Structure 1
């Protein structure tokens, strides 16, 4: 079990990075970051743009390590859902992880990397897409219902390559 911190949660009802990066993000709420997110098994984060969308069932939740981002960047720039401090989430592809914010563990199957796109050069700054290769976070499917909140949390690799260590 590793102590981590949930630094940010983003639940966005709209896909704001559509079209050409040179056109800029689509309008939307000024801040889609929340202090609490409800997770539903197999569906994603309640209220998020990918919740219960068949095309995103294996990628409905994205998690990123804060250590991968410049200090002035946040989830509004990357469009990831969960920003964790204190764990190399990119090394967890192919595992099942557990995140417990105090209300009980929520498990996620970590399927694949969340590759950075050209939008990163617009929202974070020039060269960001290249700098985030291999560090853009992971795409997951929730395996249990639960609630995530900002603040300290317990992180564990439940199954997979690193589960024994």
Structure 2
């Protein structure tokens, strides 16, 4: 499949966590990390997900094994709630990119290429925020992230993604700049 329309982006965060850290009640707080979660690069495998991530190879997560979110969404929450900077890693999304309105791409096939070959993804459905966002980001973050939580994607091809500049290719042209919300 040829994806002719290109958008330069920056991959700001790559997360692969072997454990679910937001278990139980949000009021109890997250489970402590037992392994490194943030990486300079990640391996994505077609039909399986991010190597080393808790959803890798899980049948229930085949079409939702990779989550992609816009950095601008986290910044919107900080501005709206007046909190100062928030940690995008607390959203638990696998890939945080700057310069892409991923929330508008439901149903689209797109690729991300950070210099080691393109990884093609299909954006199936929104990665809706949960009540944990009010605990780990700030009170009110759950509501502020509605329709800004990113997309749950199915990896169609395998490859490596690295932090830094990248190119997103889509079958349709982006008609507007990334909203600052």
Distance 1:13 1:75 in 2: 18
Give the drift of 1:30.
7.2
Report the counterpart of residue 111 of structure 1 in structure 2. 124
Distance 1:164 1:15 in 2: 34
Q: Which structure is higher in helix share?
A: 2
Post-superposition CA distance 1:43-82 (Å, at most 9, x none)? 0000000000001111000000000003622343111100
Q: Which structure is higher in strand share?
A: 1
Post-superposition CA distance 1:1-29 (Å, at most 9, x none)? 01000000000000000110000001114
TM-score by length of 2: 0.85
Unaligned runs of 5+ in 1: none
Please say if residues 109 and 140 of structure 1, whose CA atoms lie closer than 8 Å, have aligned partners that are also in contact: yes
Distance 1:2 1:85 in 2: 11
TM-score by length of 1: 0.93
Give the drift of 1:163.
5.1
SS in 2 for 1:121: helix
Question: Does 2:33 align with 1:28?
Answer: yes
Report the counterpart of residue 150 of structure 1 in structure 2. 163
Ranges of 4+ aligned residues in structure 1 off by more than 3 Å: 162-165
Distance 1:41 1:30 in 2: 24
Partner of residue 52 from structure 2, selected from 43, 47, 70: 47
Distance 1:39 1:19 in 2: 28
Please say if residues 71 and 88 of structure 2, whose CA atoms lie closer than 8 Å, have aligned partners that are also in contact: no
Give the drift of 1:120.
0.3
Distance 1:148 1:30 in 2: 20
Report the counterpart of residue 74 of structure 1 in structure 2. 87
Post-superposition CA distance 1:91-134 (Å, at most 9, x none)? 00110011000111110010000000000000000000000000
Partner of residue 13 from structure 1, selected from 13, 18, 21: 18
Please say if residues 31 and 76 of structure 1, whose CA atoms lie closer than 8 Å, have aligned partners that are also in contact: no
Name the stretch that deviates more: 20-29 or 30-39: 30-39
Distance 1:89 1:32 in 2: 22
Question: Does 2:42 align with 1:37?
Answer: yes
